[in-house]
Structure 1
Amino acid sequence: MRILFTPKHQKLVNQCYPTGRTPDKKPKSSETSYLLYYVNSRRTKLEKVSTYLAKKCVADLNHRRIGNITVTLELMNKIVNHCKENLNVFVKDFLQIMIKILSNANVNNDVGVLEKVEETFGSICRNLDGAMCNGDTEFIDMFEVFVNLYLEVVTDRLRDDILLLKGCSDISVVTNLAATPQASKLLSRAAELSLTKYQERNPQYRVKNLEASSDQPIAKRLTRTQTQVPGLDDLTNSDDEAVNALRSFFNTAETDKLTLAIKALLKVLLRIPNKSLLQFICNGIPVHLRYIVILIFIRQLDKDKEQSVIVLKLISSLLVSEVSIVGLSILDVMRKLLNTQLAAGATAETSNQCATTIGDLNRKTYYKDQTSDMFSEILLRLRDERNLKFHNILRRDIQELAASTYTPSLSLEMFLDLTAYVDRPLKLFSVVSESVSGSFSISKLFHFIDSLTSEGLQQEFIAAAFSKFKGIALLAGLKHYLEYDSKNNDPYYIYHEEAAKFLGISDYRNQAQYKRKSGERFSRDDLLNYYSDVETNKYSEKGRRIIASNGNNISTTDLVSHSNNNEETHNKESFALPLPSNNNYEYTPKFTVSSDVRSLKTLRYNSPKVKDLKAAELKGAPASKRNGLSRGSQSVKSHITNITFLLSELDDDCNEIKIQDPDDEEVVGLEKTAIARSESLKLLNNASKGAKRLSIPVRLQEDEDDFKDANEDVQITSTRGKLFAA
């Protein structure tokens, strides 16, 4: 029975298809625009259109209408781009349509149809929400079916690399697809296919290329300042689909997807090891995420021990390359290498390659104390009694670290701890830093030199110590060999010969050679002779202090750290006030006075007693005057007597000037006698307060003399009587 009325959404869809059976049909433009407007108006209409397109596609496939299939795919692509906010409404219907097209043998060999399928799939991937991938199991199943079917058709049936690489790129742009375990397999497969196709297009990456890292020594430098070699990141405008696919997988900040891509890279490199391909890909990874490559390769050592040597060589090739790597945990990587090296069942080849990789790990400086930390990690393994059978292996690691250290950065303390485990300590001494933290370590160095059995090695070590530490070695050796007490005098004379060479004093050198032949030693006076001239020996002052120390504990490094300026004179002339003392108390003055005792006005604090002042006055006086009772100082007498003179003049001043009370605005009816009495009381009050503040004794002790006025015959005026009148 024929349907009398066609639904509007079906009518709008049918109007977009042109008539005829030609395979190169295109949807009508005006009708398509109206259809897009229609589906954007309401979600229910969008769902009806997608359902009808699925039914119409099945009918067209059954009747082999290739032109209509092409129009359907173009309509789907436009709907996806214009209705991406509601993609979850119709995406399953669209995936079902494309699966049926790929499964149909009548159309899956048509390149034009497959190109339209890829375009629609690419639009879906670019607008796909990651939440749908994680939460909708039905969608993930359909997505996986379509991807596997698409890769199979374009690889086996069409053999079209362009469509294959475009499909791989489409898969890589899906957000958070790597977080889904089921869909993450698709990413790994797509990344591996992209790498394989790139190798096929570039034959230089399809050959085995693992050169030894020691063939081309690399100067040690900071990784962030290195020049990058051309890599994946430099080919930004390439027309090669393989490059675009690799960039979509590796040039990303999505760590989950990047991890899957790096694992695919490792899988490809294990088949055909090629360090150039590894460096090319790593240059396309964001610089702050490149350390992930090293971590993933390190983890592979536990999973595949048969190919551990290849993995280690790949790691070494990347570490010594021009590829900049930041954020790499050096100690974590080193511990993993040491565990692999010392693991049970590790072959000699694996152990040697681990040592080489440890040295390559140190060829770039990632932080300041990196070299010392790496030596310290090996020292901990050497001190562990459980690793006694691995000492030869760990010694090889020390040699590799020393060979890969281009800037001296090993601490002297660490070197002295490692000397018990190395066969060639002089070679290791070349990487010791020139800075010394204290005098103990440099003194310990000379003790180590004394313990060496070879005279030639002692000569080389002392010469190397002077070359590295200069003045510190000179003064530390001087102090050490002043107290030297051993039957072997070779290091004693070697030191003095090197010291003379360092100072440039020929007489000192000749004497050292002469005393060596005669078996004599330098006396302190002999050495003081060479450290007496400041012009010829800039270490003369410090050397004299060491020679004159007589075994006292003096830090030589502190002496060297001092400036070469002349020593300031501390024995300045002191004018301490000599004060008598008794059995119970001894006065220690906190001030100084000259030969003439200062005025008491300046002695505001810690003022002496009268007894002390009298003793100070008697100092330097004739003996006849010291035997008798001395009188007080004239300045003290004058200070006390001044109050009397002020009071004597007060009445005359009051006759001329009217005194006003500061507390009252105006004084009215105040008599002169009352004014004088008021002022005298104020002056006496202030005088008593000042005496307390200046610590002036008001009453003398019994054993002290009473002070008298300097001028005993004081003429008392009439004003004085009025002031003290009742």
Structure 2
Amino acid sequence: MGLLFTPKHQKLVNQCYPSGRTPDKKPKSSETSYLLYYVNSRRTKLEKVSTFLVRKCNADLNHRRIGNITVTLELMDKIVNHCKENLNVFVKDFLQIMIKTLSNNNVNNDIGVVEKVEQTFSSICRHLDGALCNGDAEFIDNFQVFVDLYFQVVTERLHDDKLLLKGCADISTVENLALNPQASRLLSQAAERTLIKFQEKNPQYNIQSLEATEDVPMTKRLTRTQTHALGLDDLTNSEDFAVEALRSFFNTSETDKLTLSIKALLKVLLKTPNQKLLQFICNGIPVHLRYIVILIFIHQLKQDPKQSVITLKLISSLLVSEVSIVGLSIIDVMRKLLDTQATAGVSSDVSNQCATTIGDLNRKTYYKDQTSDMFSEVLLRLKDVRNSDLTAIFCRDLQELATSTFSPSLSLDLYLELTVFVEDPLKLFSVVSSSLSGSFSISKLFHLIDSLDSSEKQQKFMSATFIKFRAIALLAGLKHYLEYDNVNKKCYFLYHKRAARFLDLSDYKSQADYKSTNCEQFTREDLLNYYSDAGSNQYSEKGRRIIMSKGSNVSTTDLISNGNSHINDNDHIAGRDLSVPPVLSQDSNHIPKFALLSDARSLKTLKHLSPKVRDLKAVKSSGALNPTRNLASRGSQSVKSHITNITFLLSELGDEAQEVRIPDPDEEEVIGLEKADLARSESLKFLNVASKGAKRLSIPLRLQEDGDEFKDANEDFQVTSTRGKLFTA
């Protein structure tokens, strides 16, 4: 009679259980399908079913019906997968069932029952939303109790690593679990347990291994596009549950979960430092998120100063490895390292390791001006620091940057600022770029060479300057050492010896050795002799302009441009005294206002000072622009061409005494038609061409003898259409 009054949801649930007391029971398929249809119809029915399952589970546990417990867990798993939209309705009841099952000593040692518990828990985690975790404190408490109990059972009672790793992977699948401050602890613990089990299964990752960065082979400069070593992302078909669990924690784009997982990794590495494990895990992180590893490790320097050396070595090992990292803010990381060095009470070991890490940070190129920016950052610290100890520390950083720079990329201007703080500037000179933005910097470089206190250093520095800057060093040095009294005497002869070797002129070499021995100065005539032959010296023209003019009159562009132009045959000078001819007449009464004041004057300047006819006539009469005069020593080729054109125009002007009358363009006749005039009417085109064409011509032209006579427009105008009549009305 009792069954007649049993509610329908209880009947449907009881019908799913097969009879008997065997432990390997399974729910009936047809009855289970109808039960799922029933609970999907209304939310209230789903709540009734979950409540009844709690009561039935308690009764089965009390009577040790292990088979019925297995059926209950399978029914729960199917309900979770089919009713995931209403998971919040029954999930707390299901957690209560699983907690009671694991707490019962009669069943918690049965691995089959625990596997069913893990299967149901996995389904719950896959469909669980983080919003439910954040909004229901009771659910969070039940969830934490179950996770702690589950790990206790599988580790202490069953000693089953497979179930342990499956439970860790299940926790990692919960969306936005890291956003909850309470539940995030479970995620960190699960990641740490997974890493420890992976180390136990792979002993090569469970030993202390931190190789010094100096021992790491760096035969070529690493870039972010280089192929990475074998890592977590390469083991896609691995049957190891530890690898699958690690991939669930680290191969994710959810930054909150990834951050907690990396912190767990750092915690494990601080106990057993192993750079291979770090590189293996980082290769499994999405490439655009790997920079988070560096940022978290850098942040750890303040959290745990005692472990700073190990943390810095781990960072260095990752930076010099083949792991590709993109999006890393080099300057921000470097500033953190510099701040660590400047912290009061920091040990020398930490400071030295920071310098090593800064050098390792520079071993990969992430953007074009990276090295210069890093040098600039150290320079700013050196300018602001007042403590001598910090100055020595930052100078050590400069040495590490210089050692780790493989391609010269430091600007000469920045190098000259750094030389104030460097004991041996020559060591840092190797990373200076050979490109220059002007000749002022290299002039300062020769002043630096003059200021060195050792002749050996001066000689090495002079040779290095010629090797790096070549022709620019030749011409800039020639300009710098023209004034013998204002420069270092030793450097004066060192320059000329090195210049003779660069030009490969035997006479120049012998004279440089002779004058160095007798401490005699090169005269301008001596130097002009070496720069007179364009065949043996391709820099003859530029060199002669430097020698024959004052140093301030040589343009920067001439020094840094290519010096392959040759001088004219008329300008050839060999073994005779030279006098510099003036560019224009030296008579102050006949110097026109467009005259060149120096050879640095360009065509652009002449364009602004265009001469008038009377100025050209005055110059022609004074003979200042005679084309036969020697102008090779003054001005560039473009200036000489411009003067030649002016001279040609002067010859066209005729004799000075003859008055040249420039006729009015309106008085001239027209000889041709413009294309634009063809669209005009037949009666007006000759009149317009005659007035406009004559104004465009600089020299008036004569009309042909058989041309039409000039007529008034009114006489030739004819009305040929209605529109014309309107205009003439």
User: C-alpha separation between the residues in 2 aligned to 1:288 and 1:634?
Assistant: 74
Q: What CA distance in whole angstroms lies between the structure 2 residues aligned with 1:91 and 1:635? A: 108
One-letter identity of the residue aligned with 1:662: V
Q: 1:385 to 1:252 in 2, by over 3 A?
A: closer
C-alpha distance in structure 2 between counterparts of 1:603 and 1:121, whole Å: 96
DSSP-derived class of the 2:542 partner = helix
Contact kept? 2:542, 2:558, Cα under 8 Å: no
Over 3 Å counting, the alpha-carbon distance change for 1:5 and 1:482 in structure 2 is same
Question: Who is 1:215 aligned against?
Answer: 215
Q: Which residue of 2 aligns with 1:531?
A: 531
Superposed, 1:604-683 pairs within 5 Å as 604-605=694-695, 661-662=718-719
CA distances 1:362-396 after superposition (whole Å, capped 9, x unpaired)? 11111111111111111111112433332111111
User: Which amino acid in the other structure matches residue 604 of structure 1?
Assistant: A
Distance 1:47 1:112 in 2: 27
Deviates more, 1:340-349 or 1:562-571: 562-571
User: Are 1:280 and 2:337 an aligned pair?
Assistant: no
Given that residues 538 and 565 in structure 2 are in contact (C-alpha distance below 8 angstroms), is that contact kept between their aligned partners in structure 1? no
TM-aligned CA deviation for residue 305 of structure 1: 1.2
Letter in 2 for 1:119: Q
Instruction: State the distance in 1 between where 2:426 and 2:11 align.
Output: 93
Q: CA deviation at 1:561?
A: 2.1
Counterpart in 1 of 2:448? 448
Cα shift at 1:661:
3.7
Q: 1:483 — aligned with what?
A: 483
Distance 2:484 2:28 in 1: 105
Q: CA deviation at 1:137?
A: 1.7
Give the AA of the match of 1:23. Answer: P
Q: How does 1:483-502 map to 2 (within 5 A)?
A: 483-486=483-486, 488-502=488-502
Cα separation, partners in 2 of 1:578 and 1:305, compared to 1, 3 Å: same
- Distance in 1 (CA, whole Å) between partners of 2:407 and 2:147 is 54
Q: What letter matches 1:332 in structure 2?
A: D
SS, match of residue 520 in structure 1: coil
Identify which range, 232-241 or 36-45, moves more after superposition: 36-45
In structure 2, do the counterparts of structure 1 residues 11 and 484 end up closer, same or farther at CA, with 3 Å as the change threshold? farther
- Which residue of the partner structure matches residue 516 of structure 1? 516
Q: Matches of 2:402 and 2:486 in 1, distance apart?
A: 33
Q: What is the 5 A alignment of 1:164-563?
A: 164-219=164-219, 221-486=221-486, 488-562=488-562
Q: Which range moves more in the overlay, 206-215 or 556-565?
A: 556-565
Instruction: Show the counterpart of 2:649.
Output: 575
Inter-partner Cα distance in structure 1 for 2:254 and 2:128: 16
Which residue of structure 2 lines up, in the alignment, with residue 82 of structure 1? 82
Whole-Å Cα distance in 1 between the matches of residues 327 and 561 of structure 2?
A: 36
Superposed displacement of residue 180, structure 1: 0.4
**d(CA) in 1 for partners of 2:67, 2:661:** 117
How far residue 641 of structure 1 moved from its aligned partner, in angstroms, is 12
- CA 1:430/1:151 → structure 2, altered by over 3 Å: closer, same or farther? same
Residues 191 and 356 (structure 1 numbering): CA distance in 2 closer, same or farther, change over 3 Å?
same
CA distance in structure 2 between the partners assigned to 1:589 and 1:306 by the alignment: 94
**CA-CA distance at 1:214 after TM superposition:** 0.6
Alignment-mate amino acid for residue 534 of structure 2: V
TM-score, length-normalised on structure 2? 0.81
CA deviation after TM superposition for structure 1 residue 598, in Å: 11
- What code does the residue aligned with 1:320 have? V
TM-score, L = length of structure 1: 0.81
Equivalent-residue separation in structure 1 for 2:468 and 2:495 (angstroms): 15
Aligned length, in residue pairs:
625
How big is the shift at 1:606? 8.4
For 1:605, the aligned partner's letter is: K
SS at match of 2:252: coil
How far does residue 129 in structure 1 lie from its aligned partner after superposition? Answer: 1.7
Q: What is the aligned-residue RMSD (CA, Å)?
A: 3.2
Question: How far has the Cα of 1:604 moved from its partner?
Answer: 3.4
SS in 2 for 1:552: helix
| Residues 331, 374 of structure 1: 8 Å contact kept | yes
Asked if the contact 1:220/1:405 (under 8 Å) is kept, the reply is: no
The percentage of aligned residue pairs carrying the same residue is: 68
Letter in structure 1 aligned against 2:138: E
Alpha-carbon distance in structure 2 between the residues aligned to 1:505 and 1:386 = 51
Give CA deviations for 1:429-467 in whole Å, capped at 9, x if unaligned: 011111111111010000100111211111111111111
Q: 1:131 to 1:634 in 2, by over 3 A?
A: closer
Per-residue deviation at 1:246? 0.7
User: Which ranges in structure 2 are unaligned for 5 or more consecutive residues?
Assistant: 567-636, 673-689
State the distance in 2 between where 1:635 and 1:162 align. 108
Q: Distance in 1 between matches of 2:663 and 2:447?
A: 49
Describe the shift of the 1:444–1:22 C-alpha distance in structure 2 as closer, same or farther (beyond 3 A): same
SS in 1 for 2:695: coil
* Aligned counterparts of 1:284 and 1:370: Cα–Cα separation in 2: 27
CA deviation after TM superposition for structure 1 residue 223, in Å: 2.8
How far 1:555 moved relative to its partner?
Answer: 3.2
Quote the residue 1:714 is aligned against: none
For 1:408, give the aligned amino acid: P
Q: Is the 1:475–1:556 Cα contact (8 Å) retained in structure 2?
A: no
Contact in 1 for aligned 2:539/2:563 (Cα 8 Å) = no
What code does the residue aligned with 1:18 have? P
Q: State the alpha-carbon separation in 1 of the partners of residues 563 and 488 from structure 2.
A: 36
* Runs of 5+ unmatched residues, structure 1: 582-586, 614-632, 668-681, 683-726
Structure 2: how far apart are the matches of 1:402 and 1:423?
14
Following the alignment from structure 1 to structure 2, what is the Cα–Cα distance between the partners of residues 274 and 634? Answer: 93
CA shift digits 1:224-275 (9 cap, x unpaired): 2212111111111111111111110011100000000011111111111111
> How big is each residue's C-alpha offset from its partner over 1:545-601, in whole Å with a ceiling of 9 and x where there is no partner?
2122223332345443257456352222443686999xxxxx999999xxxx99987
C-alpha distance in 1 between matches for 2:414 and 2:536:
36
- Superposed CA deviations along residues 691-710 of structure 1, whole A, max 9, x for unmatched, are xxxxxxxxxxxxxxxxxxxx
User: Which digits, 9 at most, give the CA deviation of each residue in 1:598-630, with x for residues without a partner?
Assistant: 99878633899xxxx9xxxxxxxxxxxxxxxxx
- In the alignment, the residues of structure 2 paired with residue 640 and residue 46 of structure 1 have an alpha-carbon distance, to the nearest angstrom, of 111
Contact 1:546 1:554 in 2 (8 A): yes
The farther-off stretch of 353-362 and 379-388 is 379-388
Structure 2 partner of 1:721:
none
Q: CA deviation at 1:518?
A: 2.1
Preserved CA contact (<8 Å) 2:541 2:565? no
Shift in Å, 1:666:
14
Is the contact between residue 408 and residue 432 of structure 2 (CA under 8 Å) also seen in structure 1? Answer: yes
